[in-house]
Amino acid sequence: MDPLSIVGLVGNIVQFLDFTGTILSTSAHIYSSSRGVLPENADIETVTRHLVLLNNKLKDAASSSGAGELQKLCALCSNVADELLAALDKLKVKGQPGRWKSVKKALQSIWSKNKIEELEQRLARLREELNLHVVVELRDQLALFRAENSDRLRELDIATKHVVDAIVDQRDVFEAAHDAQLTCMKDLHRETLARVKEEHLITRREILHEIRAGLRSESADRQTRRQEACWSVPFVRNPKFVGREQQLDELERRLFVEGSCTKIAIFGLGGVGKTQIALELAYRTRAQRPDCSVFWVPSTTVESFQQAYLDIGRKLCLPQAEKQNDNIKKIVQEYLSQDSAGRWLLIYDNADDLDLWFKNTDGTNEPALINYVPTSSQGSIIFTTRDRKAAVKFAAQNLVGVGEMDEQIATQMLSKSLIDQRLLNDHRTTLDLLEQLTFLPLAIAQAAAYINENGISLSEYLSLLKDKEHRIIEILSEDFEDDGRYRNIKNPIASTWLISFEQIRRRDPLAAEYLSFMACIDPRAVPQSLLPPAKSKKRMIEAIGTLSAYSFITKRPADSSLDLHRLVHLATRNWLQMENSLSKWVAKAIVRLDEVFPSNDHTNRDLWRAYLPHALYVVRSDLGDEVPEKLSLLEKLGLCLLSDGRYNDAEMSFVHVTETRKRVLGEEDLSTLVSMANLALTYCNQGRWTEAEELNKEVLEISKRVRGERSTRRHCPSWPI
């Protein structure tokens, strides 16, 4: 056998023996394993096929080698291979692959522990014998090879020496080539780094470009949404709205002027319909100017103002509005002040509190609300306020006043508000009711709601309004639902002015005094000279101006007397009653009237006629009987009535004074005798001669008895019999 065949055979045997040892060792581990399988046995099928291949090679090598010892060794190896193949075949899991838990049981059923150890010992002996045989065989073959090829080997050594010498001689060439190759590699490395860096920069620029493009696209989308007209109004359109065309036409004509920021203030009495006019204008603007955004800002408190601006910021898609930002008012103000915000209409409703708008009243550094009003040539602003003074501060001369409705428009409103239209067939009753309600829209809406809820007629509701004062207050205090008004504000007439009363008392105490005083006298034609004195004429003018600014009073051009709105008169009395101060103000009114009421001299006729209605109102009140000045006022009142020919009214005054003085002071008191004489004189003027004579005789007798003849003639009035 030639050396190469022997080496190949030996290599096959060694490879087979090593692989057999691995399989046996692994099987032993499988036998001792608690699970019966090792991780390396997962590919046992592949190992088995490889073992078969090695066995076949071993058989071919044994038959072709011609060496007796090697043939025997091959036979033994072949036998072991057969046994291993058989064992592996039985170790192979049948059926569903992956069920390795049965390996241990299958191996235990074929081999025992002794069998495994015996195979390991046989394999070890075969390996030792093979190693020894291979070493000897290799030595023999190597010696033979050297003997047969000594010349060739010498030639090979010489050739090798020449090659080495040539390599040494060409060392510089090799080093130069190496250096050149190294330099080339360095250059290539630098080029690669530069290229990678450039590609990195290009990729980075592309990524940044895509990010910027995305941001620009998002910004453009946001800007597009911003430029679209926004709508932020808390109320639905009022289907019962009627009239007010003059005010609406004026607002539309003056508001939407190109190139300037127009501010207009709508002012008028609370409940007159300012908010409804602004609401109607908002919906008309939305319909006629679709490119114009409309924003509504309730302005009764800082909190409502803040929330409205936050809502506006969200409508405008301002990023800062997505979270509770305390600076949102400034952010919205600055945004709307830009021309890029487009056309907009901003409505500040119920801007009544001047302190809130123009002063910092909460003790912080927070600016007043007026600082958050935007200014833009694209913008228009409406303020609604009860206070004309506030209106002037907001819009200077750009004011639109709103008064009560006329008969026709008020009737239309009542018609739209009533369920049963047949109630309006009685035109006279309808007109009487509207007059009692002073043609005030809020009062009409409240009356209609009460009539609808209780199913009564107009005449029945009218009778309630003509009942006693506390009954009227009760009916005017009935709350009602109205989609066009704020949920957190009470709707009834008796409550709607309470906030205004408090604002006036806080801002202008003298105006609050005048209002309280006028609530205790007749509300019509109040002479300014009757009002409590002020520290100066200027203060008096300002106080009257405050009440006029709230539309609570109107000044008559002819004599400058003041008219207090009839429902405001009732509401003020209710306010004073709620604060337990009505009796106090009635007493003040009595004292003031007694102080200024003139004598019945004919030269004072115009003055007493101006004061008479107010004196009659206060003395007929159930309050103030404990005030001493009331009897004095009644007596002055009776004398003027007597001089004015109003004998029946004079009689009532003198009877009350006489009876009271008799009861309190006694009939012998001089003031009692005077009042009795005045009553006798009244009887005389009425033609009640007998009663007059009897009462006059009684006065004379008492007077003579108490004071004597001369005193009687001096103090008792004389009148013809």
By C-alpha distance, which of 581, 515, 585, 582 is closest to 546? 515
Q: For the ranges 4-13, 295-304, 681-690, which has the lowest average pLDDT? A: 4-13
d(CA 650, CA 422): 46
Distance of CA 95 to the CA centre of its chain: 70
Q: Is 691's pLDDT higher than 70?
A: yes
Domain count, the chain: 4
| Structural domain includes residue 644 | no
Same domain, residue pair 105 and 246: no
Residues above pLDDT 90, as percent of the chain: 46
pLDDT of res. 262: 85
CB-based contacts of 544: which residues, under 8 Å, 6+ apart? 511, 514, 528, 553, 555, 562
Same domain, residue pair 254 and 391: yes
| Structural domain includes residue 670 | no
Same domain, residue pair 367 and 446: no
Same domain, residue pair 118 and 244: no
Same domain, residue pair 342 and 313: yes
- 3-class secondary-structure state, position 370: helix
Q: Is 640's pLDDT higher than 60?
A: yes
Q: Is 433's pLDDT higher than 90?
A: yes
Sign, CA dihedral 43-46-52-54, equals negative
| Structural domain includes residue 185 | no
Structure tokens at 491: 């709707």
pLDDT digits (tens, 9 = 90+) for 170-198: 777 767 777 787 788 778 878 888 887 88
pLDDT of res. 683: 94
| Structural domain includes residue 531 | yes
| Structural domain includes residue 20 | yes
- Average per-residue pLDDT in the chain? 81
Which of 27-36, 86-95, 346-355 is the most confident on average? 346-355
Q: Is 429's pLDDT higher than 50?
A: yes
Where residue 487 sits, what CATH number does that domain have? 1.10.10
Structure tokens at 261: 């920021």
d(CA 414, CA 410): 6
The number of beta carbons lying within 10 Å of the beta carbon of residue 260 is: 12
The structure's pTM equals 0.64
Instruction: Please compute the mean of the pLDDT values over residues 538-548 and round it to a whole number.
Output: 95
| Structural domain includes residue 685 | no
pLDDT-based confidence at 42, cuts 50/70/90? very low
Same domain, residue pair 302 and 417: no
d(CA 182, CA 186): 6
Same domain, residue pair 487 and 458: no
Boundary-marking domain end, from 386, 401, 416:
401
Q: For the ranges 111-125, 489-503, 574-588, 707-721, which has the lowest average pLDDT? A: 707-721
pLDDT of res. 398: 93
pLDDT of res. 256: 82
Same domain, residue pair 389 and 449: no
Q: Which domain holds residue 337?
A: 231-401
The values of phi and psi at residue 266, to 5°, are -100, 120
Instruction: Please compute the mean of the pLDDT values over residues 251-276 and round it to a whole number.
Output: 87
Same domain, residue pair 300 and 324: yes
CA distances from 687 to 504, 553, 684, 720 (A): 52, 43, 5, 12
| Structural domain includes residue 593 | no
DSSP assignments along 45-87, one per residue? HHHHHHHHHHHHHHHHHHHHH--HHHHHHHHHHHHHHHHHHHH
Same domain, residue pair 104 and 81: yes
Boundary-marking domain end, from 527, 546, 579:
579
| Structural domain includes residue 620 | no
CA max distance for the chain: 193
| Whether the Cβ atoms of residue 404 and residue 438 lie closer than 8 Å to each other | yes
pLDDT of res. 501: 92
| Whether the Cβ atoms of residue 440 and residue 567 lie closer than 8 Å to each other | yes
Same domain, residue pair 277 and 308: yes
- In the block, tokens 């800082």 appear at 302
Same domain, residue pair 390 and 507: no
Q: Is 551's pLDDT higher than 50?
A: yes
